[in-house]
Amino acid sequence: MSLAFLHAHDCSEAQTDSVWGVSWARNDAVVSISADGSLKQWASSTGEPYLPPNATAEYQTPSPHTLGLVSLSVSSDGRRALYNSLEGLTSLWNVETGRMEGTFESFMREEGMGNAEAAWSVSLNPSGSTYASAGSHGNLTIRSAEAETFGQKISTVFSGRNKFGMCCSFSPDGRRIALSSEIGHVFILDVESNTFVNTFTSHAMSVRSVAWSPDSSLLMSASEDKRLILYDVRASSGNAGGAVATFSGHSSWVLCADISPDGRYGLSGSADKSIKVWDIAARAAVSTVQDTGEVWSVSWRPIAPAVGSVGAFVSGGEDGVVKWWRGAGTGA
């Protein structure tokens, strides 16, 4: 079975360097972050800059940072955008008001602590009160996401390996956090007990991105070993390696992944300049979309498509252009 996806449109103005993160939220706006340090947002219907309802004349996206932005986590309703820069400046921006709710310099040494572990990847708790961050030494840290106490450390758990944390992600039900490392390990933290309950070692090369299924039961990892692996998080325990499927086909590093809102399709972007759509149940690729440069980020439209249609997704990559794609035959 194969599906076709068509290029619907692009954002109205490219960012001046690679797009390293995109996120399509329920308000149908897409937020994108770039190597040029800027955060932008776009209305999905037109690709024009997005303005929230009741936006004042002064409404603006944050002014660009001096260094690139490497991690983005947007609340599912699209109201708040958490993002992190190359050197570890974590910021929380309120999309509706256009105001910064908090910033935290994770690279600064905290009192009484050893060396600072600058954050690389950040993920907002679905509840909105905290966020998780992964840093260079294998720790998963939970910090406050409330405006008054933004960045305040709540807990740190060591994964057991002093390796660079490439990605962390809260499960949609907020009960688990996945952490992936530069040497390929994927760890699952149980939030309530604040302990790591799983370690998956199916990859031996860096896992740059992980994505949860909407029901929080499956996790998909994207690795520099050119494969994606699907883990059943609930069925396995300990280090038995809950891998249930491997998706091969990319000819270079897989850089990003996402799972569709109905849980049926995986989505991946690669350094081989293509985007692949995977049928999870069939364990096979059903579509390959050719892009012009490395694809660093992909995101499904979070609203489940009408029965019979396959939905839409957005991608961002080397050329700094955010692109919308929709399943062929789905009409307008």
Partner 1 sequence: MLSEHLSQDEDSDTLSGELDVTRELEELAIDFITQLCRAGSGSKNILDGESSESEETYPHKPSINLEMADRTRTDPVTGLHSSKFITFPKRSSTASVKFAQLFKVVNCMHEAVIDGVPVTKRDIFYRDVPLFKDQRVVDTIVDDVAASLKLERSDLNVRATSKGIFCGSTLSINLTSGDTIRGNDSEASLIPVGEEVHTYSVEEDLGWILIVEKDAVFQTLCRLNVTNHALLPGRGLIITGKGYPDMATRHLVKTLADSLSRTIPIMALVDGDPYGLDILSVYKYGSSRLSHENEKFAARRIKWLGLLSSELAGFGIDKDALIPISQHDEKKAFKMLQRPSNIMPAKWRKELVHMLHNRRKAEIEILSSLVSLNTNPDEGCPPQTDLSQRIPLFKYLHIKISQFVKSSRAQ
**Cα 170 versus chain centre, distance:** 10
Binding flag, residue 222, partner 1 (CB under 8 A): no
Number of residues that bind partner 1 (CB under 8 A): 17
Q: ∠80-143-66 over CA atoms, to 5°? A: 65
What single-letter DSSP state applies at residue 238? B
Closest approach, Cβ 271 to partner 1, in A, equals: 6
Residues numbered 150 to 179 that lie near partner 1 (CB under 8 A) are 164
Phi, psi of 149 (to 5 degrees): -120, 20
- The correct pick among 17, 101, 262, 279 for binding partner 1 (CB under 8 A) is 17
Binding flag, residue 30, partner 1 (CB under 8 A): no
| Segment interacting with partner 1, rule: CB under 8 A, options 65-73, 96-104, 238-246, 274-282 | 65-73
DSSP string, 70-112: EEEEE-TTSSEEEEEETT-EEEEEETTTTEEEEEEETTSPPTT
| Segment interacting with partner 1, rule: CB under 8 A, options 12-20, 214-222, 228-236, 302-310 | 12-20
- The correct pick among 104, 119, 188, 224 for binding partner 1 (CB under 8 A) is 224
- The correct pick among 5, 11, 18, 142 for binding partner 1 (CB under 8 A) is 18
**Cα 274 versus chain centre, distance:** 18
Site string for partner 1, 184-213 (x = CB under 8 A): ----------------------x-------
Site string for partner 1, 88-127 (x = CB under 8 A): ----------------------------------------
Among residues 18 and 141, whose Cβ is nearest to partner 1? 18
Closest approach, Cβ 69 to partner 1, in A, equals: 10
Q: How far apart are CA 93 and CA 76, in angstroms?
A: 14
What single-letter DSSP state applies at residue 128? S
| Long-range contacts, stretch 57-66, CB < 8 angstroms, 24+ apart | 58/98, 59/98, 60/98, 61/93, 61/98, 62/38, 62/91, 62/93, 62/100, 64/36, 64/37, 64/38, 65/37, 65/38, 65/89, 66/37
- The correct pick among 253, 278, 313, 325 for binding partner 1 (CB under 8 A) is 253
Residues near partner 1 (CB under 8 A) are 17-18, 20, 35, 66-68, 70, 86-87, 164, 182, 206, 224, 252-253, 271
